Amino acid sequence: MHRVTLYTKPYCSLCHKAEETILGLQDRLGFGVEKIDIMQDPKIFEKYQYDIPVILIDGIERFRHQVTTEELEKALAT
């Protein structure tokens, strides 16, 4: 089973859209989701402060800033 990690922060509209996309596919494709607030860790904040949302699949960065349902579904199929 794949694991999708979403790096996000509060009040981020792009993050909210990415989360909706991820959750919209989760039930159908059956993958785990982890949501990480970059504001909670200074090292993570420093790394991603200008690039959120960042989406990893199985620990590998796959998307920054935005993702479509089609792009995410394709990435999870490989």
Share of the chain above pLDDT 70, in %: 100
Residue-level length of the chain: 78
pLDDT in tens, 30-50: 999 999 999 999 999 999 999
Helix (H, G, I), strand (E, B) or coil at 2: coil
pLDDT in tens, 6-18: 999 999 999 999 9
Structurally, how many domains does the chain consist of?
1
Residue with tokens 């859209």: 17
Q: Over the chain, what is the mean pLDDT?
A: 96
In terms of residue numbers, what domain contains 26? 3-77
Q: What is the pLDDT of residue 40?
A: 97
Q: Is the pLDDT assigned to residue 78 strictly greater than 90?
A: no
CATH of the domain at 27: 3.40.30.10
